[in-house]
Amino acid sequence: MTTPDVTVTVIVYNDAARLPRAVASLRAQTHTDIEIVISDDHSTDDTPAVARELAARDHRIRYVRLPENSGGCSAPRNRAIEIARAPYLMFLDSDDELPPRAVESLLAAHREREVDFTMGAVRRVRVDNGRQSTWMPHLVTERRTLEGIEADPRLLFEHLSTSKMYARAFLDRHHLRFPEGIHYEDQLFSTQAYCLARAFTIIPDPVYVWYIEPFAAEGAASISNQRHKISNVRDRVHVQRLIDDFLDASGHAGLREDKDYKFLKHDFRMYAGDLPYRDEEWLRSFAEVVNPYLDTLAPGAYARLPRPERVVLALLREGRLADTRLAARGLGHPVAPRQVTTDASGVPYWGDRVPDAEPARRELDLSDLELDTRPFPSARFRHEITGLDRGAGATLTLNVRTYDPGLRLPVGPQRAGLQLAPGGRRMTVPFRLDPVRPGVFEGTVHLDLTAAPLPFHGFEGVRHPMVRLQQQGLSHSGLLLAPLDFPAATTRVDYHSGTAPHDVTVEPEGRDPGRLQIRWRPVGVTARVIRPVVRRVARPRVRRAAKLVASLLR
């Protein structure tokens, strides 16, 4: 039997439905001299039968089954490494795919120059809406060969083992295998590979298709999407400590600040966005797990973060859990705190008090946000819905409170507008914000969703209303935070413009900052006929014809 050029391992557990798609992407590779190992972590569904059928169709496919379930990715990958016959190895998860030229491109980079592994771009595909993006695109924009991770420590952010092709001799030389019995094994394995490699090549070509299911059912969610479990937090912190130990023991302690920054910016940040949705008990448990580890991180790693993220970390470490939840709302958006407190020298601090300890004062100092001086269009306000009443049909009455901690708005009533733009067509509902006390305004806005200017072919999607303020000819738009737990409601809406009916749902966003969310779904002829036609047309003449058909059908 001849030796194949590359062994690609597909790990699988109870994924009979998607395994054929993953294997089909390997059989479609432009470089055909490959071995395909399906490594089954003792599935209990139809995976064994499906895998054996796939192996019967193609002599390049081998099927191995672990004698018991390991509960992770490491054991099935390691089992495949043991039996792999090729000098180069790749790994694929059963719910993902390889692009057709992945093997060819990575192998060519190996043959161009002797390196320990090659890596390329990862294309992420959202399963719920089909949107595509590149994972860590700034790291894979150009072809380059690096002699060690110190040449670009940012690569610690690209910790996927599946985006790489490894020389088998490199893995064996360092006895490098996936750590078993832990989750987030890729982070430790990839850190070890980066540090142990004498050289590795990066290519900008896409080499992996990663399917993301952000709203997967709890039982089917990936490990990274199980952040609601405190055990998940423990697992992530545990693997970070293992990475720290490895860096110290291998002579790479100089990477600690870069690695700590990666943990804060990526790993912790994933939990931070969820904190507004966690109850007090969960937050206490989270702090008990995370805070001892946060105390070990390099101060320079904190200093590299945006101020709002530093605020969340500082409040958590101070044990101010309610404030932590409040500060976490709107992360990634220019959302102001409700209140700032200045000390005797005029330094503004987040919240209702000046911190006692110097480290907290350093982290909660908001001077660099320039709340009182930055240009009005980029000023920071905080708009919250304090009351929401549903009226007849598709009408809403919203009580809105606006916080202006930088005192940018003049004394007295303010003209404001609620903006909504479904289908690219904007509507603005004017309302007034009246002063309650310095830096706080309240107003009421009445929103009639039947007046939304939808396009003739309807609209399917989600929009979040924005609050618009004006001052001296300048305008500012800010997101509108909603209560986190009000019940969703759906109404059938007939539009004044003659657009066909839509089901319109008003709901809290349920993730991220928690904005007011309005969801449109066309029904009837619009959904069955008009929208499919419009999606297929590209030329203006055909668009006009589709518009004529739509008017006749109405």
What pLDDT was estimated at residue 393?
Answer: 83
Would you say residue 505 has pLDDT above 60?
yes
* Distance between CA atoms of residues 368 and 244, nearest Å: 31
What pLDDT was estimated at residue 512?
Answer: 81
* Tens digit of each residue's pLDDT (9 = 90 or more) over 271-295: 999 999 999 999 999 999 999 999 9
DSSP type of residue 412: S
CATH of region 6-216: 3.90.550.10
Helix (H, G, I), strand (E, B) or coil at 5: coil
Q: Decide the pairing of beta strands 117-126 and 200-212.
A: parallel
Mean pLDDT, residues 448-452 = 89
Mean pLDDT, residues 517-530 = 74
Give the rounded percent of residues in the chain with a pLDDT score beyond 90: 83
DSSP type of residue 158: -
* Distance between CA atoms of residues 111 and 93, nearest Å: 25
DSSP 132-193: EEEESGGGSSS-EEESSGGG-GGGGG---STTEEEEHHHHHHTT--PPTT-S-HHHHHHHHH
- E runs forming strands in 172-305: 200-212
Q: Pick left, alpha or beta for residue 514 (phi over 0 → left; psi -120 to 50 → alpha; otherwise beta).
A: left
Would you say residue 499 has pLDDT above 90?
no
Give the residue carrying structure tokens 């007034």: 432
* Distance between CA atoms of residues 504 and 493, nearest Å: 7
DSSP type of residue 381: B
* Distance between CA atoms of residues 457 and 466, nearest Å: 24
Would you say residue 470 has pLDDT above 90?
yes
Tell me the sheet residues that pair with 8.
36, 90
* Distance between CA atoms of residues 138 and 395, nearest Å: 45
* Distance between CA atoms of residues 413 and 431, nearest Å: 10
**Nearest CA-CA partner of 206 in 70, 98, 337, 315:** 98
* Distance between CA atoms of residues 153 and 156, nearest Å: 6
Helix (H, G, I), strand (E, B) or coil at 278: coil
* Residue 151: how many other CB atoms lie within 10 Å: 12
Query: Terminus-to-terminus CA distance in the chain, angstroms?
Result: 68
* Tens digit of each residue's pLDDT (9 = 90 or more) over 22-69: 999 999 999 999 999 999 999 999 999 999 999 999 999 999 999 999
Give the rounded percent of residues in the chain with a pLDDT score beyond 70: 92
Domain ranges of the chain: 6-216, 227-369, 377-523
Going by pLDDT thresholds of 50, 70 and 90, the confidence category of residue 453 is confident
What pLDDT was estimated at residue 497?
Answer: 60
What pLDDT was estimated at residue 527?
Answer: 53
User: What's the topology of domain 377-523?
Assistant: Immunoglobulin-like (2.60.40)
What pTM, to 2 d.p., does this model score?
0.89
Contacts of 483 (CB under 8 A, 6+ apart): 385, 388, 508
Going by pLDDT thresholds of 50, 70 and 90, the confidence category of residue 225 is low
Mean pLDDT estimate for the chain: 92
Contacts of 269 (CB under 8 A, 6+ apart): 309, 331
The answer to whether the CB of 122 falls within 8 A of the CB of 135 is yes
* Tens digit of each residue's pLDDT (9 = 90 or more) over 87-135: 999 999 999 999 999 999 999 999 999 999 999 999 999 998 889 999 9
Mean pLDDT, residues 240-253 = 97
